[in-house]
Amino acid sequence: MRPILVFDGDCGMCTTCADLVQRRLRRSPDDYDVAPSQRLDLPSLGLTQEQCDEALQWVAADGRTSSGHDAVADLLAASRWWVRPVALLLRLPGLHALAGVGYRWVAGHRQVFPGGTPACSLPAHREQGES
């Protein structure tokens, strides 16, 4: 299986970022796939729609999954040489925790960023990390 980046295709900001990943970060289309969750058989990837609505998902070639800022680090590690050092930085203990806080903040406010729409807004209970 080829690795795949799974994003929320209902979110304009997520779609804009996924397009940027496809055009600028992949060395070639054979490196990994980029697809909206709404077009995938999520159970076959070990994912749920709720997970994909809440955060970016990365499914590695071996089936291992990562989410949010960990998915960003895995994505960058599989991308062009000039962004791979950022993946290493995101995995450092202090920066890893900070990246998690930053990711959750951006995900909770994604409707206000360029490309964002009201459809990008997460329900209040999910923004606060409640189930």
Residue 21 corresponds to which tokens in the numbers above? 């990943």
For CA atoms 56, 38, 118, 17, the dihedral sign is positive
Region 83-104: what's the mean pLDDT? 96
Region 75-86: what's the mean pLDDT? 97
- Parse the chain into domains and list their residue ranges: 4-127
Residue 55 corresponds to which tokens in the numbers above? 């955060």
User: What is the SS3 assignment for 35?
Assistant: strand
Dist CA 1 CA 4 (whole Å): 9
What does the pLDDT look like over 16-56, one tens digit per residue?
899 999 999 999 999 999 999 999 999 999 999 999 989 99
Residue 20, amino acid: L
For the chain, the helix, strand and coil percentages under 3-state DSSP, each to the nearest 5: 55, 10, 35
**Exposed/middle/buried for residue 96 (C-beta within 10 Å: 0-12, 13-18, 19+):** middle
User: What is the SS3 assignment for 66?
Assistant: strand
pLDDT of residue 12 exceeding 70: yes
Q: pLDDT: is 29 or 127 the higher one?
A: 29
